[in-house]
Structure 1
């Protein structure tokens, strides 16, 4: 049996193709059942995200083409469209690939942590359906521990590499605790939603959402227990905000210098952070002139993101070294399992010889034989029996002119150490 990875991802396939071979919840259970029933597949996990679809299996090596065909047939995708985007990893490369995925080294955003949760979910779903065997189970457990080690020993995930995350990181640096801060979110699009998630994850409990369309703001506000405002109400509530993060599609600024000056005066000059992610700007550039106001534009955040991406690339070098070390260790363990049956058979054979000769010796002693002579014969016969097959192997290797084989047998018997 062989560990095998078959898949496509954001590096090999466009979104349109990735969508075609994605395993939604309604398909996943059936797919795992089909793989479990497939002759030659011992265990399998299906990982399906917006950026990748991958099969992790323990299979007979000859099944690679059959599994690719199965993937194509299951999703009814023409193999000529799918095959150029497929990658295949076997044995150590399959192990290494899974470890890199879990560590975020193969992600669209280097070092992103969400993928580890997605892999764990895929693994859990396979376990629940009894679709994995012991080898696949141990592989995934090992990959999870490697991801933990990488997060502990490197800073691969320690720097903000999205504008939304950078905005939250900036807020955390300026304000001691986000749980005590009030945040005004202006807009209700995807970026603001992502900002809200980051804020909530970092303990922020007080949010206001101002948007041109109240219905969209309500959807976001309900998820985060936030207060809903109309854009026209911003001047009335701005003074309550310690942090303002704005991202709308407005062609003109929504927040002006005069509005902020009035809010700061009402706040008795307590500091305010304003992060303007919008293009064009939602906040007048002159707001930066107001005392006790810290204004950052999308360009400011992008420079932070670019710097952090470079830092992650440096951390990734150490992470890759850890993955190489751990994947080598794991494949060595997998290969050692192949010797288990041979070791057991060899030990049983030796014990059988020992018991046979020991019984004869005991019978000789019970019949009045000389103990010294009996022991001598036992040791002599036991030695001859145990070395007979290795001796013959040495002779055959020498007779057939196979010095490499002869050297391996000598090393195995420990003769080179004498």
Structure 2
């Protein structure tokens, strides 16, 4: 398998290092286009989430260059500083990792559901900017299909399955009941809405910020979760003093809350919990401890691990993933034989053309009609023979199928009416 990935995630790197290599959607697309072009790759996919960044590449003219070096060059980061936080995987090891990742086995919150959407979105972005190829398309599509199968047949976890829910659990541990607690949510993305819905279900008084370019000037035209109030993003600081809980979850590359803007505010003497659910971080870490504010990010919120209650379910999931892994392995093995199948079908087509040479010449056809008929006969022969060869693959074991292909190729080369010139050219290609 000519496929390699490099990744940094929560298991080896803190958020301070992960955010250095994070990407927005637009940034990911720009990076993929640049990486594919500059390093002459067949394809690449960039997966960037709160807990990980992974660059997947398939073979190219500069395949000797590590994806880590590619990533550092795009980010303009010194490659000698952060290598220890990355893991590189190739071939089957890379595929095995993606299969487990897509169904949540490698997630910070074990068994989470969001990662499958993130894997699907990464592939969609790669397609959108023309950076996917057949190999990466197959591997990612298989991982997505495997994750769906696992999710529909296996109960992977009996614990929290979303960062949003886990954040609310932390708030309940720190503050007790959340009923009527004033909460400010900065960010109207997927995570912000998940948090808002979870908080309102607990009876919290929730306000959510929206940018003008999203909601326009009309409040009633805004899309906000039910039971939430709307606040223009530009007025977020004015709501901090009355908010005991602040949660920021945006895709902004800059701080949404800065220390110098917070220092002059007058806070009530209450325990204040601020959750930063973004990568890169939204809230200036220097605010922690200021005016009684305690900041938790996605690392300090804690990690949910697989426990003994999941052991049997994990085994079921791994068995399912192994079936899909074998399917990918067969696909890669088959791809190697495509040139041989093409060779056999073309030999058969040429042999058919030679055998029908006299009957075709006996027809009353002009040169253009004769050429068109000949091409149609050759194409039909190739499709017919190809159908038989591909059909054998579905009924024979890989080893026996390969023996049959070798025998058929040898027979096609010997039992033919054509001259040897084309045969020699094909043999030269295979060598």
Report if TM-score (shorter chain) is over 0.5.
yes
Distance 2:152 2:312 in 1: 15
Q: Is 1:73 aligned to residue 73 of structure 2?
A: yes
| d(CA) in 1 for partners of 2:140, 2:347 | 36
Pairing of 1:41-60 with structure 2 (within 5 A): 41-60=41-60
The residue matched to 1:63 in structure 2 has which SS? coil
Seen in structure 2, the aligned counterparts of structure 1 residues 163 and 26 have a Cα distance that, compared at 3 Å, is: closer
The alignment of Structure 1 onto Structure 2 pairs a total of residues equal to 280
Greater Cα radius of gyration, structure 1 or 2: 1
Do 1:6 and 1:89's aligned partners in 2 also have CA atoms closer than 8 Å?
A: yes
Aligned to 1:186: 181
Compute the TM-score of the two structures, normalised by the length of structure 2: 0.54
1:249 aligns with 2:246: no
Q: Secondary structure at the match of 2:82?
A: helix
Query: Residue 136 and residue 362 in structure 1: after superposition, are their counterparts in 2 closer, same or farther (change >3 A)?
Result: closer
1:104-119 maps to which residues of 2 (within 5 A)?
104-119=104-119
Q: Does the C-alpha gap of structure 1 residues 128 and 167 become closer, same or farther in structure 2, counting only changes over 3 Å?
A: closer
Deviates more, 1:67-76 or 1:146-155: 67-76
Deviations along 1:65-105, one digit per CA (max 9) or x if unpaired, are 24322211221222122222222222222222222111011
Distance change (3 Å), C-alpha of 1:161 and 1:313? farther
- The residue aligned with 1:200 is 197
Aligned residues of 1:167 and 1:195 also touching (Cα < 8 A): no
Unaligned runs of 5+ in 2: 170-177, 211-223, 230-238, 244-269, 273-303, 362-401, 409-431
Q: 1:409 to 1:117 in 2, by over 3 A?
A: closer
1:349 — aligned with what? 347
CA distance in 2: counterparts of 1:161 and 1:351, whole angstroms: 57
- CA change 1:167–1:321 in 2 (3 A) is same
Q: Is the contact between residue 4 and residue 57 of structure 1 (CA under 8 Å) also seen in structure 2?
A: yes
Please state how far the C-alpha of 1:118 moved relative to its aligned partner. 1.8
Counterpart-to-counterpart distance in 2, 1:310 and 1:85: 29
Aligned to 1:133: 133
CA contact (8 A) 1:22 1:48 kept: yes
Q: Which residue of 2 aligns with 1:225?
A: 227
CA distance in 2, matches of 1:195, 1:25: 17
Q: Distance in 2 between matches of 1:59 and 1:65?
A: 10
Paired residues of 1:168 and 1:199 also in contact (CA < 8 A) = no
CA deviation map 1:139-159 (0-9, x unaligned): 222211111100011001554
Shift of 1:162: 7.3
Aligned partners of 2:39, 2:192: CA distance in 1, in Å?
48
With over 3 angstroms needed to count, the CA separation of the structure-2 counterparts of 1:348 and 1:188, relative to structure 1, is same
Match of 2:397 in 1: none
- Cα contact 2:146–2:321 (8 A) shared by 1: yes
Q: Counterparts of 1:410 and 1:123 in 2: how far apart (Å)?
A: 37
Q: Is the 8 A contact 1:207 1:226 kept in 2?
A: no
1:354/1:119 CA distance change after superposition, 3 Å:
closer
**Conserved? CA contact 1:43–1:136, under 8 Å:** yes
Name the counterpart of 1:11.
Answer: 11
Alignment map for 1:2-401 (pairs within 5 Å): 2-60=2-60, 63-157=63-157, 159-160=159-160, 165=165, 184-186=179-181, 188=183, 197=194, 200=197, 207-209=203-205, 218-219=207-208, 224-226=226-228, 249=271, 309-353=307-351, 355-356=353-354
- SS for the counterpart of 1:339 is helix
Q: Distance in 1 between matches of 2:333 and 2:194?
A: 44
Per mean C-alpha deviation after superposition, the further-off stretch among 59-68 and 342-351 is 59-68
- For each residue in 1:296-340, what CA deviation from the matched residue of structure 2 results, as whole angstroms up to 9, or x when unmatched? xxxxxxxxx88x843234422221221122112112112202211
**What secondary structure, in the 3-state scheme, does the structure 2 residue paired with 1:124 have?**
helix
Change (3 A) 1:63 1:12: farther
Counterparts in 2 of 1:91 and 1:139: CA distance versus 1, 3 Å? same
Structure 2 CA distance, aligned partners of 1:46 and 1:201?
A: 30
| CA–CA separation in structure 1 for the residues paired with 2:48 and 2:97 | 15
CA contact (8 A) 1:206 1:226 kept: no
Three-state SS of the structure 2 residue aligned to 1:328 is helix
Q: 1:164 to 1:249 in 2, by over 3 A?
A: farther
CA distance in 2 between partners of 1:73 and 1:151 (Å): 37
- C-alpha deviation, 1:165, in angstroms: 3.8
TM-score (norm 1): 0.55
Q: CA–CA distance in 2 between the matches of 1:201 and 1:327?
A: 37
Secondary structure (helix, strand or coil) at the match of 2:183 reads coil
Contact 2:168 2:198 in 1 (8 A): no
